[in-house]
Amino acid sequence: MKTLRVLFLFLLGGALLPAAELPGDKALAEYFRKETARISAQNFANIKTLEDWQRERVIAKQQLQEMLGLSPMPEKTDLKVNITGRVEHDQFFVENLHYQSMPGLYVTANLYVPKNLTKKVPAILYVCGHGQVKTNGVSFGNKTAYQHHGEWFARNGYVCLTIDTIQLGELEGIHHGTYREGMWWWNSRGYTPAGVEAWNSIRGLDYLQSRAEVDGEKLGVTGRSGGGGYSWWTAALDDRIKAAVPVAGITDLQNHVVDGCIEGHCDCMFMMNTYRWDYAKVAALIAPRPLLIANTDKDRIFPLDGVVRLHKDVANIYKLYGATNNLGLLITAGPHKDTQELQVPAFRWFNQFLKGEEPLISMPAEKLLKPQELKVFSSLPTDERTTKIHETFVAAAKPVVPENKAQWEKQRAGWLDVLKEKSFRGWPEDKMVPNALNVRGTSEFEAANVTMWNFTSQEGVELPLYCVAKGTYQGAQKVRLHVVDEKGWTNLLSGLLAYQAGKMGEELRITPSIKPDMLAWLRVVADMEKENAALVFLPPRGIGLTAWDPDPRKQTMNRRRFMLLGQTLEGMRVWDIKRALEVLKAEFPDRPIQLVGERNQGINALYASLFVGGVTSVELIEPPASHMTGPDYLNVLRYLDIPQALTMVAEKSKVMVTDAKAEDFQWANEAAGKLGWPQGKIHFIDAKAAAREKARSLLK
């Protein structure tokens, strides 16, 4: 029993790794801080002249379209505008309407039009924040909460189109996919509701320009909170916007990632940060057009310090244009609230830049109508896609099975390129980290010797490796790297303890926590003894010793932080496995390396093997068959899915798929057949029955 306790403490690092050195929450916070600072430092690092920025702007605009899921830009189909009602006021009228920004993607809106117009007038697109108005389960849309803005503009000589968002509109879609719905596949699809809101806004501009009352050369955009965010996306993407006033809708990456503001925002506030931007670059795309950045000084989710830093960076771009008068910073007292102190300067800004006037603002913005009067639908359309637009807005790839070697080689090369550029762009440079193992301790036990190593995965990320070998690990003939998740790590440790206890006979009964997963451990240990293999176990970051606060909300928000850094947690675990393979190759030169992974970590191992040579085989244990349910990597589903990655690996390494349905990987089998690969390159194993039988023999 003493031997077992010592072994258990050893494997947990209790005697070898002081608690102060464990990379936990404090280390994760430091990691986020450094990555954020690195991104911020390079945001405008190469911009010295106006010519530099003008070249960069062309590229940046294309990148922003892509990061919003708008590359290629959707086709501008018939808006199919339907005016469902009209409300009269002494000074203006309101048309309740809907349009389809793409077929089935309904946008409900109120169009405020001044009465007695004698000429075309400027128009404002007002995009709403999250201001739900709902009675008896019926949503009137957040447009009714912001009606006072449209009414003020109409009473002061503007046409104003106020549009609902897909979240909290009359058709209630989702902004909270990763925030609370566990839809991590949004990252893999490259989908963000910010892209839908931007597209709906762009099509709203199309509609405004179609109206006879509107001067289509004088369009402005504004909104607050979520609407402030959508104002940024719209003005940055569409040069038809001639003046913009985003209110409380943007701050910098430091506020979001380091200071925790991301925890107060749903997914609509963020682009998929593939190209690792700080948010000042979004704002800079509006230059040199008139831009007023408006905020309050006590806004918890758009803090003042970040807004000021962002304004300072954007001001440098306006200086390059010689257009500093077109940039304003408005800070008023108050919390995150739609206050009159914010409204009045916004009205003055549009008067100045869209009308060339600066009259005294004597009229307050007041709500003059009942929410029911502004409702668009009497019954919801049956052909709507709005509530589930996240499923189709960004198309998933449908890879074609290659017919020949040339076609396959082109596919493979293209996929490897997009993985590097679109999914794993946030990986560090290889030269930044040492390529060596640091021995923390060794111990001898009845059946095996255990060595514990640390290695540097990237700056600030130290991970353990555990090597189990018969005798000294230097004498092993091959290496098996086993990548574990939390369940696998616990079960494998328990399995090792059970195996040791099994050698003592009756003491096996003192391990009631051992589950059937122990059988996998017994099979692995038997292979070690039979094949003289060094079994190396890797818990990637956030698993085992490096686990972070287990609170589900904190886990969710940390995963969202990774996305804001142009990474995903699972994508960085792929990097961890890649680095582990590299240091093991240096430690075990000229010896074959096998790779094993469980569930999501099996898929991470699969992808890691694409970037490291010399892996002779890869075994996936209970793997998911798609990134829709498996690990999330940025944008990956826009190009390929797990069966295609498996096929790429199978070309150079034997692939074993354990306890999964072969039909889920049919694409890989078909491709292997078309390419004439020998049978056995992809091998499916129903391991459970065989493992039980083998375990019985081991336990006799």
Would you state the pLDDT for residue 320? 98
Question: Residue ranges per domain, the chain?
Answer: 54-391, 414-699
The reply to whether 414-699 shares the fold of 54-391 is yes
Would you state the pLDDT for residue 532? 86
* CA dist., res. 396 & res. 190, Å (int): 9
Predicted model pTM: 0.93
Q: Position of tokens 């009675």?
A: 135
User: Secondary structure of the chain: what % helix, strand, coil (to 5)?
Assistant: 45, 20, 35
Counting DSSP H helices and E strands in the chain, the numbers are: 20, 20
Q: Is the pLDDT of residue 556 over 90?
A: yes
**Cβ-based burial of 387 (10 A; exposed 0-12, middle 13-18, buried ≥19):** middle
Q: Write out pLDDT tens, residues 641-665.
A: 999 999 999 999 999 999 999 999 9
Residues comprising the chain, all counted: 700
Q: Are strands 291-296 and 105-114 parallel, antiparallel or unpaired?
A: unpaired
**Cβ-based burial of 446 (10 A; exposed 0-12, middle 13-18, buried ≥19):** exposed
Q: Is the pLDDT of residue 249 over 90?
A: yes
Q: How many CA atoms lie within 13 A of 631 on its CB side?
A: 26
CA 614 to chain centre: 31
Mean pLDDT in residue range 137-154? 96
- Domain 54-391, second-level architecture: 3-Layer(aba) Sandwich (3.40)
Q: Write out pLDDT tens, residues 587-607.
A: 999 899 999 999 999 999 999
CB 86 within 8 A of CB 104: no
Q: Is the pLDDT of residue 695 over 80?
A: no
Lowest mean pLDDT among 220-224, 243-247, 362-366, 512-516: 512-516
CB 490 within 8 A of CB 35: no
Mean pLDDT in residue range 136-146? 94
* CA dist., res. 503 & res. 517, Å (int): 18
Model confidence at 692, pLDDT cuts 50, 70, 90, reads low
- Beta-bridge partner residues of 126: 162, 222
Q: Is the pLDDT of residue 14 over 80?
A: no
Q: Write out pLDDT tens, residues 197-229.
A: 999 999 999 999 999 999 999 999 999 999 999
Report H helices in 322-446.
340-350, 405-418
Q: Is the pLDDT of residue 299 over 90?
A: yes
Which helix (H) or strand (E) is 536 found in, with range?
A: strand 533-538
C-beta atoms surrounding 685 within 10 Å: 15
Model confidence at 339, pLDDT cuts 50, 70, 90, reads very high
DSSP 465: E
How large a percentage of the chain has pLDDT more than 70? 89
How large a percentage of the chain has pLDDT more than 90? 80
Q: Is the pLDDT of residue 246 over 80?
A: yes
DSSP labels, 108-120: EEEEEEESS--S-
Q: Write out pLDDT tens, residues 168-177.
A: 999 999 999 9
Would you state the pLDDT for residue 174? 96
Mean pLDDT in residue range 248-253? 96
Would you state the pLDDT for residue 473? 87
Report H helices in 146-279.
147-155, 185-189, 193-210, 226-237, 253
* CA dist., res. 483 & res. 487, Å (int): 11
Q: Is the pLDDT of residue 506 over 70?
A: no
Which CATH code for domain 414-699?
A: 3.40.50.1820
Q: Position of tokens 């074609």?
A: 400
502 versus 549: the higher-pLDDT residue is 549
Would you state the pLDDT for residue 69? 98
| Mean pLDDT computed over every residue of the chain | 90
3-state secondary structure of 212: coil
C-beta atoms surrounding 347 within 10 Å: 21
Model confidence at 524, pLDDT cuts 50, 70, 90, reads low
Would you state the pLDDT for residue 1? 38
Model confidence at 12, pLDDT cuts 50, 70, 90, reads low
End-to-end CA distance of the chain: 21
How far, CA to CA in Å, does 630 sit from each of 62, 186, 272, 547, 620? 29, 12, 19, 20, 13
Q: Is the pLDDT of residue 135 over 50?
A: yes
Map 419-458 to HEC letters.
HHHHHCCCCCCHHHCCCCEEEEEEEECCCCEEEEEEEEEE
How far, CA to CA in Å, does 438 sit from each of 139, 442, 627? 60, 12, 34
Would you state the pLDDT for residue 530? 74
Q: Is the pLDDT of residue 520 over 60?
A: no
